[in-house]
Structure 1
């Protein structure tokens, strides 16, 4: 009989996850050896069993081999304990029948298969118990068939050989179970490694997608905050030139020059973005950038003033650029969309945080959440949030808008 291997849990019980049938050749090889020995003894006339005895002997071995084949086909992975117990009982009966009809007396070796197969189905304890039962049956048989056998060297030798066979059978089963358990653990480990590799590949794909999405959002903010602002500034200067064309030609010409400057600044912003991607961007000064921004936007239809204070050192360039982009967006909205006549920009770099306040007297924002009022405001909030800051917008229809942006100083953010 060959049965599925079972890696033993503490106490000798086999866990249910172990699969496969180790050393399937043991039972067929033992059947063949017993058959060959019995037929040889019958052929040379060493014993004279009745013809029916040889037929029963051969039929019994064939039945045992047939049971093995049926079991392997019915239970390819593991024989359940119930059917395994029934098969063990059937084999025990057949072992007795074959042994009684064996002309050579070699069939006693078949009994070692009981603890051997029981080890796979029921564990170590049951296998050792069955080995003890088999040994007791052999001693009982010797006591009935040959009283005083214990003083006969042949019987004692047979008993010792049988004990050795039991020990070898149980040991072989233990080794097979241990090897199968190691193989199963290795297969599980390989499956886990493959599964981990698959998860890591999915995570890597997800990270790549998120990185690409974040980069697209960053580029979108850059385009909106830089190119969009400078094009708006150019449009304001052109409107200024148109307004002064008939009454103050020099002012109109200066406005056209400023419009050209804004277009040039848009091109410079593109180049700056390329240099930033390459890590070649120079130092950024918020006060200088805001002064240039206000100078370009201050025009005939609107008046823009700037107040700056504090020390910019200790602030990340990303945080200062976030304030600058916020000022760009707020001024563009005030001049282009809110028709503001006066705009005040105030930037203060303190010991703990930098604060930007842009106030206008324009038409204000319609009712509703300000975050939903266009791409620019959403981009401003995203950019400032990445710098660890916050944006607040207060507005009242017909009474203007105030945009307040704060970002932490590097040393303060590190506390």
Structure 2
């Protein structure tokens, strides 16, 4: 994790302006080490960010902390305005991101102690002077706010990291569903057609040849489907034509009605993937002899019905159906599955015209 990148340059600029003003107005002497120290601090920040883009390792972080502390002491000693004391706040702030809260608080207390020692050595009777006591109190308040700001910034960065992990997991799940729903369907179709070609090879070579041709076409569509998933469907998606290609050469009757124009592409894709899963389950698991697919795109929602005369099921749902429910739920839809052993399966999917926000 990195500290807030704009904070250090802002404080360097404020200290530089304050020191120059103090020198010009005669409010305090400013030695050349003042500007040189600020330039060195800027260079340390630049080198660290270029050398360690994401996170500074422990040992270099300790060395850089020591270098920064020494430079801040040099700048503060050369600044007659006293404004440079604010740079000490950067030490516990940066330490919080690398070493944690305990080290940051301890470093902050050390900085406060250094300010007290400096007052004790340079300002006799400072404890009875309002200006010095007020400066010390303001420095202490600044330390508290600095540690609190660092804690908030660290939690925000952790939250962003967790959000990135969740986004990556969601994308992995999407890809897994695409592979299962798309590629799995086409491979099932290829398997069924090859079995058909094998069964009719001796009895009816013409039927076997047609089955092989359909298997090749299904393999081609599988490749197209993978490419479509990789491109995340940037090209316009047409549900009716996609379903027509999906069922070509299979024992599936298709009936598409209504007007799909104006539908959210994510909704149409969810319907398409649900149809893929329903057909795949019917052909591969239910061993159905007949499968029907009905789609109606109405004014407010789309309805998909996939029915088969297969052996049905009564057990728990597999990955495919769970993935389908997740995909449909993402667009605000619902899935119903009606099935009994030896009585076929009826899959009903209803999704709204626009994806849920």
TM-score category (smaller protein): 0.5 to 0.7
8 Å CA contact 2:175–2:229 kept in 1: the answer is: no
How far apart, CA to CA, are the structure 1 residues paired with 2:306 and 2:121? 89
Deviations 1:153-190 (A, max 9, x none): xxxxxxxxxxxxxxxx4xx2x33332222111211121
Q: Does 1:199 align with 2:155?
A: yes
Q: How does 1:66-85 map to 2 (within 5 A)?
A: none
Which residues of structure 2 form unaligned runs of 5+? 1-108
Q: Does 1:181 align with 2:137?
A: yes
Aligned to 2:292: 344
Aligned to 1:247: 203
The structural deviation recorded for 1:294 is: 1.9
> What secondary structure does 1:284 align onto?
coil
Q: How does 1:221-236 map to 2 (within 5 A)?
A: 221-236=177-192
Q: Does 1:269 align with 2:217?
A: no
Deviations 1:44-80 (A, max 9, x none): xxxxxxxxxxxxxxxxxxxxxxxxxxxxxxxxxxxxx
Q: Does 1:331 align with 2:279?
A: yes
1:375 to 314, 319, 335: 319
In the superposition, the TM-score normalised over structure 1's length comes to: 0.55
How far apart, CA to CA, are the structure 1 residues paired with 2:222 and 2:255? 25
Aligned to 2:269: 321
Q: Does 1:291 align with 2:247?
A: no
How far apart, CA to CA, are the structure 1 residues paired with 2:122 and 2:256? 93
8 Å CA contact 2:336–2:347 kept in 1: the answer is: yes
How far apart, CA to CA, are the structure 1 residues paired with 2:356 and 2:224? 32
Give the stretch that moved more between structures: 332-341 or 235-244.
235-244
In the superposition, the TM-score normalised over structure 2's length comes to: 0.63
The structural deviation recorded for 1:286 is: 0.8
> What secondary structure does 2:307 align onto?
strand
8 Å CA contact 2:331–2:356 kept in 1: the answer is: no
Deviations 1:324-354 (A, max 9, x none): 1111111111111111112111100011110
Q: How does 1:11-160 map to 2 (within 5 A)?
A: 23-24=119-120
How far apart, CA to CA, are the structure 2 residues paired with 1:211 and 1:241? 44
Aligned to 1:64: none
> What secondary structure does 1:297 align onto?
coil
Aligned to 1:260: 216
Aligned to 2:332: 388
Aligned to 1:364: 312
Aligned to 2:96: none
> What secondary structure does 2:207 align onto?
helix
Q: Does 1:306 align with 2:250?
A: no
How far apart, CA to CA, are the structure 2 residues paired with 1:271 and 1:250? 32
The structural deviation recorded for 1:25 is: 5.7
How far apart, CA to CA, are the structure 2 residues paired with 1:340 and 1:359? 10
> What secondary structure does 1:181 align onto?
helix
> What secondary structure does 1:238 align onto?
helix
The structural deviation recorded for 1:311 is: 0.6
RMSD: 2.3
The structural deviation recorded for 1:193 is: 2.0
Q: Answer with 1 or 2: which has the greater Rg.
A: 1
> What secondary structure does 1:354 align onto?
strand
Aligned to 2:31: none
8 Å CA contact 2:337–2:348 kept in 1: the answer is: yes
8 Å CA contact 2:200–2:208 kept in 1: the answer is: yes
> What secondary structure does 1:383 align onto?
helix
Deviations 1:70-107 (A, max 9, x none): xxxxxxxxxxxxxxxxxxxxxxxxxxxxxxxxxxxxxx
> What secondary structure does 1:226 align onto?
helix
How far apart, CA to CA, are the structure 1 residues paired with 2:160 and 2:212? 51
